[in-house]
Structures are given as structure tokens and as C-alpha cells.
């Protein structure tokens, strides 16, 4: 039986996710409904993607008995209320990153999911690409020895997008881009909490961060560094350096389509889309969607690849970074 998806919001990222689902077998994944704040937006989205039901409110989607899991693609500050709405309606949820604006909100969402006994996963799409599956395998085998250093960067000019520099819309480089670097580092270091965090950055007059550089120190003299910027392009690559070698992840827009291990290159191309995409290689979201399906089939309430504890840890690290940068959102006072 197919996993029946509902799409919350008719924006760009929801479009790309829906296109990605079309690269998977129809007998496994079906989009049965979409909801937007305006009915006409949902109807236009449903026509474009051949979806049978369109709703003009998220509440209607939450009440739809034919929806197994909801993809939440609303703007960052709306994640808390949207997730809780669907979770309280006993819907399983896949929520775009970051799961919430801060650790307090993440805890609230996680508590709600536990109370209602539903599946919940924060999007960490990089972890589900075949290249990342191979990385975890090689790390478990200690193929490059003991990992001593991880480095990642992600930079894309975003400020032509109105919400990207607006504090009330959750703008800023860390929440929009840096979280991808941070979740990759956390994956490599097996969700260990860093012993120290040093952050520096440039902030805009609107109060959000434009560019950020972070140094993380872990136990046993291990380190990690990442940079992110919403003002300039960065290579979008990651390095994992061990005592016996190095792994290089080639990730345009943080889509790991190639892995270099001790100079041996392996390509991992993503499927071609049937409609134009808004973001590079977005068909790679198919891998996270399939993870959701497999977890539901096994009766899991969280993914072992992106567990709830990691979502909370990433939020706590993010809170510390923002505190050092002086970036404060309204949600931090609530």
C-alpha cells in the first residue's frame, strides 16, 4: 500500500519535494492533498502536480483521513504551530529544517510527538543520499582511521528572496544554510555534544546573520569547522580527515552527488525531474521520503538516521551560536 502524503504549503520547496516524490514508484508514494493559506494557491499547486484535493487551510488537511504523513514546508517561524497541528491530529510529520526556531520549540514539538505516538522527522536530506550512506559505512569500518577533523561550507546568495533577511520570517544564514553543515558534522561525530563552540559572524541591520564561521571542539582532540553565508557563493563541500586518509564530499547546494575517498571518486547522480526545480538537485529529497516510508512500515516513531535527540542537539548548538553572534528572534522570548 502506498504512503499517502499531504503537502503543507504551496511554496517553492513544497513544489520540489512533490517533484521528488514523482521519481519514486507510484505504488509506494502518492500525494493525495495539498493545503495553503489561500485556496487558489492550493488549487493551482494541485493542478500543476495532479493532486486530487486542495485545501485553503492547514486545519482541513489535518482532518483529512486519507493522509498518512504531512510534509511541512512553511517558513521557519511557522514550523512549531504547523507541526503541532498535524501531530495533535495524529498525523505523521516530515518537517523542513530547522525543525523549529530554537531548542525550546524543538522540545515542545518532540514532546507533542511522543504524547500523540506519531512519527516525526526533521529534514536532514544530506544524510539520506547514497553518498552519505557510504560515508557512515566507511566511518563504522574506520576506513580512514580515527576522524580528527571535519570541515564543511555552504554559501548561496539569498537576499533577493524577501524573507531571507527578515528576522520575523526566520531569516539568516545559520537557520537557512548552516544547519546543513552542522547536521553533517553531527552525523560524522555520531551525535556527540561538542565540548566548546566558538562562533563569529557578520550581521545585517535587520538583525539576522549574513555570514557565520564556527569552530567546534570535541573530546579526544577532535575538531570541526563550518562556514555559511547568505551573501556569497561558497563551494558547498565537506572534508572528513582521519588518521589513515581523507573523504571529500562534493555537494553543490549540499546535495552529495560525488564522494572522493583517498582520491577514488564515486558518482551518485540524482534522477531527472519531470518539472523544473527551484533548487539544485532537489530530486534528492526522494531519499528522505523513502526513509519516512520505511520507518512507517516498521512502526518506528523516529528515524535512526535523524533521531529526535539529534534535532534537539542541533537546536541547542544553534542557540549557542546565535547567542555568540547576537542574533535574537522573537521566539527566544516566548
* Domains of the chain with CATH codes: 3-125 (3.40.50.720), 130-267+306-332 (3.30.360.10)
At 159 the pLDDT is: 84
Nearest to 61 by CA among 76, 75, 45: 45
Distance CA 294, CA 170 (A): 31
Average pLDDT of span 81-107: 98
pLDDT tens readout for residues 235-286: 889 999 999 999 999 887 788 999 999 889 999 999 999 999 998 899 999 9
pLDDT tens readout for residues 39-89: 999 999 999 999 999 999 999 999 999 999 999 999 999 999 999 999 999
Distance CA 202, CA 132 (A): 31
At 235 the pLDDT is: 87
At 133 the pLDDT is: 97
At 161 the pLDDT is: 78
Structure-block grid coordinates of residue 252:
553543490
pLDDT at 308 over 90: yes
Adjacency order of strands within the sheet including 92-95: 53-55, 29-35, 3-8, 69-72, 92-95, 120-122
Distance CA 4, CA 51 (A): 11
Q: How confident is the model at residue 3 (pLDDT cuts 50, 70, 90)?
A: very high
Nearest to 16 by CA among 270, 293, 297: 270
pLDDT at 160 over 90: no
Q: How confident is the model at residue 334 (pLDDT cuts 50, 70, 90)?
A: confident
| pLDDT, mean over the chain | 96
At 176 the pLDDT is: 93
Percent of the chain whose pLDDT exceeds 90? 93
Q: How confident is the model at residue 304 (pLDDT cuts 50, 70, 90)?
A: very high
3-state class of 185 per DSSP? helix
Amino acid at each position: 500500500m502506498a504512503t499517502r502524503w499531504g503537502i503543507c504549503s504551496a511554496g517553492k520547496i513544497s513544489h520540489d519535494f512533490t517533484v521528488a516524490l514523482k521519481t519514486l514508484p507510484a505504488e509506494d508514494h502518492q500525494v493525495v492533498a495539498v493545503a495553503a493559506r489561500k485556496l487558489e494557491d492550493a488549487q493551482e499547486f494541485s493542478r500543476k502536480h495532479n493532486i486530487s484535493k486542495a485545501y485553503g487551510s492547514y486545519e482541513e488537511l489535518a482532518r483529512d483521513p486519507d493522509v498518512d504523513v504531512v510534509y511541512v514546508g512553511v517558513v521557519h517561524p511557522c514550523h512549531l504551530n504547523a507541526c503541532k497541528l498535524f501531530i495533535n491530529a495524529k498525523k505523521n510529520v516530515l518537517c523542513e529544517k530547522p525543525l523549529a526556531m530554537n531548542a525550546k520549540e524543538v522540545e515542545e514539538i518532540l514532546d507533542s510527538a511522543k504524547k500523540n505516538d506519531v512519527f516525526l522527522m526533521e529534514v536532514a536530506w544530506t544524510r539520506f543520499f547514497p553518498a552519505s550512506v557510504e560515508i557512515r559505512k566507511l566511518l563504522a569500518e574506520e576506513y580512514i582511521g580515527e576522524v580528527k577533523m571535519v570541515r564543511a561550507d555552504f554559501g548561496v546568495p539569498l537576499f533577493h528572496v524577501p524573507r531571507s533577511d527578515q528576522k520575523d520570517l526566520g531569516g539568516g544564514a545559520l537557520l537557512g544554510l548552516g544547519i546543513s553543515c552542522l547536521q553533517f558534522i553531527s552525523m560524522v561525530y555520531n551525535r556527540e555534544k561538542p565540548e566548546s563552540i566558538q562562533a563569529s559572524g557578520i550581521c545585517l541591520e535587520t538583525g539576522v546573520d549574513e555570514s557565520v564561521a564556527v569552530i567546534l571542539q570535541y573530546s579526544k582532540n577532535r575538531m570541526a569547522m563550518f562556514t555559511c553565508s547568505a551573501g556569497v557563493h561558497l563551494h558547498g563541500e565537506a572534508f572528513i580527515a582521519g588518521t589513515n586518509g581523507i573523504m571529500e564530499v562534493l555537494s553543490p547546494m549540499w546535495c552529495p552527488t560525488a564522494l572522493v575517498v583517498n582520491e577514488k571518486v564515486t558518482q551518485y547522480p540524482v534522477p531527472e525531474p519531470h518539472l523544473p526545480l527551484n533548487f539544485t538537485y532537489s530530486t534528492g529529497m526522494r531519499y528522505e521520503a523513502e526513509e519516512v516510508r520505511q520507518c512507517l512500515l516498521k512502526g518506528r516513531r523516529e528515524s535512526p538516521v535523524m533521531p529526535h535527540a539529534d534535532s534537539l542537539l542541533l537546536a541547542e548548538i544553534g542557540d549557542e551560536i546565535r547567542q555568540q553572534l547576537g542574533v535574537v528572534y522573537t521566539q527566544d522570548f516566548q
